[in-house]
Amino acid sequence: MTDWSSRVQEISGVNPRKCMKCGKCTAACPAYDQMEYHPHQFVDMVQTGRVEELMASKGIYTCLSCFACVERCPRNVQPSSIIEAVRLAVIRRQGGNHRKPDEIPALLNEELPQQAITSALRKYSKGG
Amino acid sequence: MQRSVIETAASLLETGVCTRVLGWKTGEFFYDVTPAVFTSAEEVRKDMVFTPFCGANLSKYLIAESRKEGKIAVFLKPCDTFSFVQLQKEHRICRENVYAVGVQCPGMSDPDALKALGLKGLTGCVQEGDTLRVDTLYGEKAVPLADALSLRCRGCKSKRLHDCDAIIGTQGKDLQTSRFAQVEALEAMTAEERFAFWRKELSKCIRCNACRNVCPACSCETCVFDNPDSGVQNKAAASSFEENLFHIIRAFHVAGRCTDCGECTRVCPQHIPLHLLNRKLIKDMNTLYGVYQAGADFETKPPMLAFTLEDPEASIITQGRNGQ
Amino acid sequence: MTYAYFPGCTLKTKAVDLDRWGRESMEALGITLEELPQWQCCGAVYPLAKDEIASRLSAVRALMAARDQGTPLVTLCSACHHVIKRANCDIAEDETFRSRANAYLSPETPYSGEAQVLHYLEVLRDVVGFDNLSRQVKNPLTGVKIGAYYGCLLLRPSRQMAFDDPENPTILEDFLRAIGAQPVIYAQRNECCGGYVTLENQGFARSRAAAVADNAAAQGAQMLTTACPLCLYNLQQGGSLKTVYFTELLAQALGLKEGAL
Amino acid sequence: MQRIGVFVCWCGSNIAATVDVEKVARVLSQEPGVVYSTDYQYMCSQAGQEMIQEAIREHRLTGVVICSCSPRMHEATFRKTVEKAGLNPYLLEIANIREHCSWIHKDKLTATEKAVILGRAAIAKVQLNAPLTAGKSPVTKRALVIGGGIAGIQTALDIAEAGFPVDIVEKKPTIGGKMTQIDKTFPTLDCAACILTPKMVDAAQNENIDILSYAQVEKIQGFVGNFTVTIRKKARYVDENKCTGCGLCTEKCPQKKIPNEFNLGLDNRRAIYIPFAQAVPKVATIDPNHCAMLQKGKCGVCAKVCTAGAIDYKQQDQLITREYGAIVAATGFEPISMDKFDEFAYSQSPDVVTSLEFERLMNAAGPTGGTLLRPSDGTHPHTLVFVQCVGSRCDGGEKGKSYCSKICCMYTAKHAMLTREKYPDTEVYVFYIDVRTPGKSFDEFYRRAVEEYGVHYIKGMVGKVTPQDGKLKVQASDLLGGRQLHIDADMVILAAAIEPDKSARPLATMLTASMDTNDFFTEAHPKLRPVESPTAGVFLSGACQGPKDIPETVAQASAAAAKVIGLLVKDSLTCNPCTAQPDELMCNGCSSCEKVCPYGAITYADKPFRGPNRTTRIRRVAQVNPAVCQGCGACTVACPSGAMDLLGFSNKQIMAEVDAICR
Amino acid sequence: MQVNETFTPTIVAFCCNWCSYAGADLSGTNRLQYPANVKIIRIPCSCRLNPMFILRAFQRGADGVILCGCHPGDCHYTTGNYYARRRMTLLFSLLDFLGIERERTRVEWVSAAEGAKFAATMNDFTETITRLGPNRRLEDLRCKEV
C-alpha cells in the first residue's frame, strides 16, 4: 500500500501544513469551473490523506499550470506543484496515462503550435 | 608579472604615493621568500621579488605598519585581500595609510611539492602560463604548474581582489571548489578513526607558535595563551591543559574570522593539517547559518556575532553527522 | 556583440515570424543571436516534481553549452524561457538535482548554474536600452493602442523568473512606448490564455482567451501583442482582437518588415 | 594572603539531616586560605549573622563562604551582613548545599561529600573575588518622547502631569499622528477628532511640554539618566511665534496641485499649508520642493498676504541639543505599500483604495466632505468589496509581513457597518481568512455588522480584480459556499498590513535599542517588561513595539510614562557592579563585543599606549559603561583576545570553580 | 558497551542564574532526586559560558558537561541564549570532528518552573555518561602517540 500523501509531498516538495486555508489560490484559479476539486482542496486532501480521490478526479488535467495560485499564495504553498505531483502519481502507476500518444493525432489541428502538443504529452502521459 | 610588480612598487615610491612598500624578498634560497619593507626604489629594484613562492600573506603586517608615519603600499594576492578586508572589518588596519595593490595570482608553488616530484638541487624557477620552468643543478626541467602548487592553492576559493587601489593583472572571480572534500572524508569516518587521526596529527605539535604567528586572524594585542587572566595562560609547555587544547581553542577563536587562507598549514613545520579544523567550522557555519565568507565584504555580520530565532539547537549535531 | 540563442521547436515551425523578425531586428540593433549548435527541445513544460531529472536535462545541456561559449543564453519563446530559466535556478539551488544531472551528463566541468539566461526583452531593455531603441525606430507605431499580453510563463513564479513585477509588469509597455505605440494597461494581461488545455477542451481555452481580449478591448486596445506562440494561437482562436508577436512590431518599427498592422 | 571564613548552616534539620555539617566545616577548614570554619543552626538568624560579623572582625577575614540555602534566597541578606562588619559585600560566596544537595540526596555520605566539593568551589572562587563598589550616576530630570501621535501625546501628558518637563519631537508639521486621519473609532464609533484634538490642545498648553514639530532626532549619545540628544528642527519658512494660523496664505498660494498627504493624495494642497484645521501647532509650513519662491526666487504671494509678517524665506534648519534622563520611542506605524499586490489592481484603478484612504473618503473633513464617492468618477458606489489580510500573515517576507496586523478585522467591520448605516442601498462584502476580535465589546461589534447591518462576510479571498467597463470585476473564493464568486464591484477596499514607521530603524540604531526582524522595537521582556526596551532608559509606547489599536496604545503609553516617572524621580541610579570590564592593554578594538551587546553598553575610544622604544601608539579600545551594562557576559566570550572579563564572574573565578569540582 | 558498576562520573552543569539555576533550586524544593555526581556552577547567563570552561572541565577530569539556560525567547538578557546556542552547536560539532564522544556534551533549556525537567535531565545525562565510561580522549588528544 503506497502512502500517496507523503509520496505526493515528497515529489512536489510542498508542505501542505503551511496552508492557512485562506482560499486565495481558489480565488485566483482561472480553471475553477472546470474542476470538481479546487486548489485549496488539493492542498487539504493531500494533508488529510485523501489522495486517491484526487487521483481519480478529472480536474487534475484541467489545471493550466498558470502558477497564479503559486504567485498569489501568501504562505508559499504552491498548489500547482501538488496538482502536478498527483498527476505524476497517476501516470507513474501502471497504465495510468490520461492520454496515450496514439490518441493525440485525433486532437490536433493544423495551426496548433508544437509547444501545445509537447506540453500535453508531458502533462498527460508517462515520458511523452 | 614580476617586473610589473617591481616597477609598480618602485614608481609608487618615486612618485611619493607611499613612503614604504611591503612586499617580498628572497632569503637564503630562492624559494625561501619572506616579507620585507622597502623604503626606496633602489632597494625595491635590488631585492624585491614576485615569484611562485610568494605565498606569505602580507596583510597581517599592516596592523603594525599602517599605524606608522606615512603611507605604505602593500602587494596582496586575491586570498590575502580577504584577510585585508577582514582586518579592516575588525578595525585593525588604518586604511587611509595603506595603498593596496592587488596582484592576480596563478597559484603559489611549494618547494616541497617540487621535491616530491623528484627535483633536486633547485636553483631557480620561472612560471610561464601553466608550466613552471625549474632550474636545477642538473639542468632545466618543466613541471606542470598544477603539480607544483601548494596544498592551499589547489583548492583556491577565489581570484577576486577585494578593496584594492590598483590591480596588476585582471580582476578575477570566485571559484567553485571542493575545499570541503577532506573535511567530509573525515566526517565519514567513525569517531574512533577521527580520534586516532587527530591524536596522531596533534601529537606532532611542538608548540612553536608558527601557526599563530602567521595567522591574520590571530592578531590579538595579547594572545589568550599569553594572558594571565584568561585562565589558559601557557608559558611552559608541559602536559597541561593549555598545550593540549591549543589548537581547538585557536580554531574556535578564529571561527567566523578565518578567511581560510591556509597559512597555518603552510607554515607548520610538522605538517599538521590545521586548516581542516578551520574548514570544519566554516563548513558548519555555512550549513547551519547560511554561507558566509570572512573578508568578502565589509557589511555582513559574522555568524558567531549574530543569531536568528530559528537557529537549530545544539542537538542537531549528532555523532559523526552534522545535521545534514 | 554575439549571444547564444535558443530558438526552440515552435519557432522553427509554427512561430517562424517570432523567430525571424526577432533575429533580424536584433541584428539591426547590433547584436547577433547565434543559434546553439545541436539544441534539443526544452521540454515545453517545466516539470514541477523534484524527482523528475531526465525531462530537465535538455535544458541543462543548452545551459552548459552557453556556459562553455561564455555568453548569456537568449531565449524568445516564453515557454522555453520559463523552462530554461527554472532549470538554471534549480541546478544552482537544489543540490540533489545538481549532482544527479551532472552524474548523468558527466560534463568536463560540472555545471552548477553559471550561465545567465536572458529573455529577448531583457536584452532589449538592459543591453540595447529602450531609449536607444526608440532612437533607432524608423516607422514609429504612433497612435496604435496595443495591449501587451504577458501570459503566465514569463512572470511566474516570480521568485525564480525574476523577470518583472508579476502583478504589475512594465517591460512590454515600455517596449511599446519605445517603438512609438500607446500601451493599454488591462488587468487580464497576466491571466492565463487557456494554455495547452486547448488540445482537449477548446471551449474552455477559448473562453479564457475571450476574457483576456475582451478586457483589453474594453480598456481601449486595438490589438494585442505577445511573446508566446501558444498564447498567440489561443488568442487568435478565441479572442476578438488581432494578435501579433512583439518581434513583428519591432521589425516593423525598425523598418525591416513591410505591411500594415 | 587570603584569610577566609567558612560558615556551614544546618538550616535546622533541612541541611543537617542529610549533610554532616560538622564534618563539612572540619574538612573545609583544611582548605588553603581558610582560617576559620564553623557550623551553626540558622546562619540567617540574627544570632547567626552576628556570629559571622564577629568572626570577620576577630579573624580579620578577607573573604566569607557561607554553605547554606540558594544564593537566590539569602545572598542579599548575607551581603548586608558582611558589609556591616566592614567587609566588601562582594567578597562573599555562597555554596548552595540545601536546594542543590541536602534536599535532593538521601544518602548522608554522598550528600556530605558533595557539600564539601560545593564548599571547595566557593572557597576557590572567593579567593579570586575583588571588592566591588556599585557606582552611582545622576539622572537628568527631563524626558524626550519621539513621535507625536496618540502614543507620544499620552506618554508626554502623563509625564508632564507628574511634574517633569518633557519634549515631543514630531517629524510632521503637526502632532496627532495617524489618529487624526481616522474618521470614527471602534467599537464605540465616537469620532476620532473629537477625542484626540482636546488632548493635542492639552499637550500644547501644558507648561511642562515642549512640542518640537517638523523636527527629527539627529544624534543620541549617553546612557540611562544621561542622554544628550541633537534634534534638527527643519525650516518651515514660517516664524512659528508670529504665525496666527489664519490660513490666508494657504488660500492665496498659486501652487495648487500638490498631492495632499493628509488626505493620502486623494486631493491637493498648496505649497504653503496647514495640514488640517485642528493642527497643533496651528502654523503654516512651506513645502520647499514646490514653493516657487524657494525654487525659482519668484512669487512671494504668501509673504504679501501675511499680515503677521511670519513668512521667512531665509529660515534655516536649526540644531537643538538637549539633555534627557529618559527617552520614549513612539514612532508608530505606516500601512505597507500596495506595490506588490497588484492582483487587486490598486495601481490600475483609483476605485481600489486602502482602508486608510477609505477613512478619508468617509470623513467629514476629507476630500469628499464625508460623502462616500468613487474617486474615479465621483459617483455613489453601490457594491463595495473589502479584502482583509492584504500583506499580513504572509510566509517568507519577500511580499508582505509574517504577522497579523491585529487592527484590520475591527476597522473593516467598522467601515462595513458605517457604509451600510449611511447608505442602506449598498451591498457590502467582506472577504476574510479569520475574523479576529479579542477585545472588550469587539466580537459584539462584529456580530452587529453581520446581524444588524447585513454585511456579507465571506470566508475566502479575492484572487483577481479586473477593472473593466467602469466596474471592478472581482474574482473571489467562497470557501464555505464551495464556489468561486464573480462580483461587479464599484469599489474595492484593501486592509493593508501595517509596518513600523520607516524612521524607527535609524532611530533604533541611534538608541542601540534592539528590533525584531520586522523592525518593531523589542521589549525588555515580552511578558513582564513590555514597555521597556532592553536598553536602559529607553521606553516603548504604541505601535512601534507591535500592532496595536487605540485603547491598547493609550494603555501602553501611560505604562511607559509610569516607567519614565519611576526613573526620573530618582536623584541617582545605583549600578550593578558585576559588569564587563575590558583590559585595555589586551583589547584589539575589533568590535566583536559591541556587536553582541544587547544594551549598547560598549563604545570605543582611541587611547595612547606605550609602544616599544619609548614610542606612543594610538589604539582603539573598548569602553564599557557600567551604568548601562547588565552583566550578561556575552561580550566576554565574543572577545577573541580575552580582554573582556566579567566582574564577579571572571574567567579565572569560573575556572577555579571548575578546577575545584573536577579535582 | 560494558557498564562499569563502580564508575561514578564527574559532571559539571553550568546553569544560568535566572532560569536554570532557579529550576535546579525548584527541583530541590520539590525534593526531586538526581545523582550527586552533578555539580552546578552558577553563571549569569548561558552566553557567559566560554567554550574554554568546558574544555577545562574535561581536562581536569570531568566526564560530562551540560549547559542549562533559559528557553530561547525567554533570556533575561533577551538574546544571550541565542549566542550560546550557536557557540555550543559549533563547539560540539568541532569536538565530534576530533572524535570526542558526542554525548559528553549537552545543552538543555530549563525554565525556573521546570524543576522536574531539571532533575529528569540530570538523571538522563548521568546515565548516559555512566554508560560511556570515563572521559579519556580529550586528555589523550595531545599526548605523544601511544
- HSE, CB side, 13 Å, CA atoms: give it for residue D563: 24
CATH numbers and ranges of domains, chain E: 11-140 (3.40.50)
Residues of chain A with CATH 1.10.1060.10: 4-96
Local confidence band at D114 (pLDDT 50, 70, 90 cut-offs): very high
Checking ipTM against 0.90, whether it exceeds it is no
CB E29, CB E57: distance < 8 Å: no
- Cβ distance C43 to A118 less than 8 Å, yes or no, reads yes
Position A95 confidence tier, pLDDT thresholds 50, 70, 90: low
pLDDT in tens, E29-47: 999 999 999 999 999 999 9
From the candidates E37, E40, E68, E122, which should be mutated to test the interface with D, based on the most D CB atoms within 10 A?
E40
Q: How far, in Å, are B14, B125, D10 from residue B8 at the CA level?
A: 10, 22, 81
E-assigned strand segments in chain B: 20-26, 33-38, 48-49, 72-76, 98-103, 122-128, 131-136, 139-144, 166-168
SS3 string, D510-567, reads HHCCCECCCCCECCCECCCECCECCCCCEEECHHHCCCCCHHHHHHHHHHHHHHHHHH
Cell numbers at C38, concatenated? 545541436
Place of cell 563598589: D133
Q: Can you read off the three cell numbers belonging to residue B227? A: 594572558
- Predicted structure pTM score: 0.74
In this complex, do D468 and C185 lie within 8 Å of one another by their Cβ atoms? Answer: no
Each residue's pLDDT tens digit, C6-60: 999 888 888 899 999 999 999 999 999 999 988 888 877 888 888 888 888 889 9
What residues of B are in contact with residue D586 (Cβ under 8 Å)? Answer: 220-222, 227
Report residue D209 CA to chain centroid gap. Answer: 21
- Cα separation of D282 and B210, whole Å? 72
CATH 1.20.1050.140 positions along chain C are: 2-120
Strand partners, B134: B125, B141
Interface check for D327 against chain E (CB to CB < 8 A): the answer is no
**Cβ neighbours, 10 Å, residue C259:** 6
Strand, coil or helix: D489: strand
- Highest-confidence segment of A117-126, B202-211, B214-223, D644-653: D644-653
Portions of chain C given CATH number 3.40.50.11810 = 130-253
Average pLDDT, integer, range D436-442: 95
Residue D111: burial class (beta carbons within 10 Å; 0-12, 13-18, 19+) = buried
D662 touches E: beta carbon within 8 Å: yes
Would you tell me which CATH number, out of the four given (3.30.565.10, 3.30.43.10, 2.40.50.110, 1.10.1060.10), belongs to the domain A4-96?
Answer: 1.10.1060.10
Contacts A–D by Cβ distance under 8 A: 61
Question: Which residue among D583, D589, D654 places its CB closest to the CB of B91?
Answer: D589
Query: Mind telling me how many Å the CA of D484 is from chain A's nearest CA?
Result: 6
User: In this complex, which of C159, C168, C187 lies closest to D467 when CB atoms are compared?
Assistant: C187
Q: Is the pLDDT of residue A123 over 60?
A: yes
Range E103-115 average pLDDT: 92
- For residue B116, pLDDT over 90 is answered with no
- Quick check: C45 contacting A, CB < 8 Å? yes
**Contact C256/C24 with Cβ under 8 angstroms?**
yes
CA distance D473 to chain C (A): 10
User: Residue C55's closest chain A neighbor by CA?
Assistant: A127
Give B62-93 pLDDT, tens digit per residue.
Answer: 998 998 889 999 999 999 999 999 999 999 99
- Which of A115, A122, A125 to mutate to test binding with chain C, by most C CBs within 10 Å of its CB? A115
Q: How far apart are CA D579 and CA D629, in angstroms?
A: 6
Q: D540 has which bridge partners?
A: D329
Residue closest to D463 by CA, chosen among A112, C63, C88, A68? A68
Q: What is the CATH number of domain C2-120?
A: 1.20.1050.140
Q: DSSP label at B59?
A: G
Q: Residue B253 contacts by C-beta under 8 Å, 6 or more apart in sequence?
A: B217, B218, B224, D640
B158: DSSP letter = B
**Which of C77, C190, C199, C234 is most worth mutating to test chain A (most A CB atoms within 10 A of its CB)?**
C199
- Joined grid coordinates for residue B27: 632569503
Cβ of D592 under 8 Å from any chain B Cβ? yes
Q: Is D528 on the interface with E (CB under 8 A)?
A: no
Which residue ranges form the domains of chain D, and what is each CATH number? 4-126 (3.40.50), 143-234+317-332+501-568 (3.50.50.60), 248-305 (no CATH), 334-499 (3.50.50.60), 580-647 (3.30.70.3270)
**Residue contact E60–B241, C-beta within 8 A:** yes
Q: pLDDT (tens digit, 9 = 90+) per residue, A46-81? A: 999 999 999 999 888 889 999 999 999 999 999 999
The continuous run of DSSP H or E covering D603 comes out as: strand D602-610
> CB distance D468–C218 less than 8 Å?
yes
D632 CA to chain E: closest CA distance, Å?
A: 5
Residues 45-74 of chain B whose Cβ lies under 8 A from any Cβ of chain D: 67
Q: Which of B60, B83, B218, B227 to mutate to test the interface with D (most CBs of D within 10 A)?
A: B227
The shortest CB-CB distance from D341 to any of C167, C185, C191 is to: C167
C45 in D contact zone (CB under 8 Å): no
Is the Cβ–Cβ distance between B156 and B175 less than 8 Å?
yes
| CATH architecture observed for domain C130-253 | 3-Layer(aba) Sandwich (3.40)
> What's the CA gap between D39 and D42, in Å, rounded?
9
Contact between D105 and E36 using a beta-carbon 8 Å cutoff: yes
pLDDT at D422 over 80: yes
The cell for E126 is: 548521568
Contact flag D459-A25 (C-beta cutoff 8 Å) = no
Among B241, B307, B314, beta carbon nearest to E56? B241
CB contact under 8 A, D477 and A26: yes
Distance from CA of D69 to the nearest CA of E (A): 9
List CB contacts (< 8 A) between D400 and chain A. Answer: 74
Q: Do β-strands D143-146 and D166-169 pair in parallel, antiparallel, or remain unpaired?
A: parallel
pLDDT digits (tens, 9 = 90+) for B283-309: 999 999 999 999 999 999 999 999 998
In tens, the pLDDT along C58-110 reads 899 999 999 999 899 999 999 999 999 999 999 998 888 998 999 888 888 88
Grid cell listed for D91: 567578597
